Structure 1
Amino acid sequence: MLHVISTGRQSFGDWLDITVRIHKEADYIHIREKTWSAGQIQEAVRHLEEQRVPRSQIIINNHPELVSRMNLAAVHLPETSPFPHTPSFSAMKGCSVHSQEAAARKEREGADYLFFGHVFETDSKAGQPARGLHELRQLTAAVSIPVTAIGGITPDNAGSCLEQGASGVAVMSGIYEAHDPEAAARAYRTALPKGGRT
């Protein structure tokens, strides 16, 4: 599985252009724009739909009410945020975790999938040591729900994450800030099987 996550460092127009160009290579597109209002996120989803990006491919960070109202694929939340627990909320619930203990707790709380990282060194976490493949293997073995590896993922090391039990990888700048985002997305796609578990 390939999750592609917006970086928060591009204009709306640039983000939309790249997303439309690369979405067919991705399993899920995450809108992770901390400065956008709920209205801007709704507008983003509307624009994606106009360009034939299905709602079932779109994951929103935070804003569970939007996810429910717009019938999107999932809401992705920080480790410290509670999941929505209402009969009307039928979308998947994902969470970023940084330890086995947190992973086990979030699984008990109802997470459908987890992100774990940062697995490799990355500029976005400069000065912070990578958690590495060994910790990834331990964490994937500790839970029964899918775990997606994030942080410093490249087409060359993506396969090693799957070998440690990850169901897929998540990529931000490796695609959105690549010189040729389409070529970058294809390279990640080639390194991973499409479809399957989240």
Structure 2
Amino acid sequence: MAGILPSMKLTGPSPIDEPRRDSAVRLPLRNTVAELLLGTVVAVVVSMLLQFAAARLSISEPSFAPEALAAVGSGVVLAVLFLALALGHRRSPRWLRLFGSWVALSAFSTLALAIPLQATRFYYGGSSVDNGFRMQYMTRMASTPGLADMNYADTPPYYPGGWFWLGGRFANLLGWEGWAAYKPYALT
């Protein structure tokens, strides 16, 4: 057996004994929270601007123009991202890269959904089945500051209400009824 295996002479510490160094950049908790909050604010602003711009398109139905325009808009966002990656995004400041990625991700998802829905006040599926329940719950949360059941005003909620409660505050901020604010809130 001694002739088959090469002799292994170890010099110095073994790679197993050395601490593992991750190549990922680790941000302090304060920076992570700040980036999450700023990214959320930028995404909400970009999404709302694009939604209100898409609502003003007035493309007559029936037509495949909204879907084609959504595909073109998403393609433009992807092309800009590809060019930024290909042409040396590392040379730009970190804050600009973060801001650009927040804007691009928000624009990509909003354009793909908001343009095909530009002719309606409802989300995908209209007001049937699950969306009827969601619009009812949003309307209830917009009419009361506390958590309540979607059907009975004086009953504690059966379904978790956090997302719908925030949607109710969003509707109150816009001055809309809950059912009308459901589409822009869900898209945002």
Q: Normalization by structure 2: what TM-score?
A: 0.26
Structure with the higher fraction of residues in helix conformation? 2
Compare CA radii of gyration and give the structure with the larger one. 2
Q: Normalization by structure 1: what TM-score?
A: 0.25
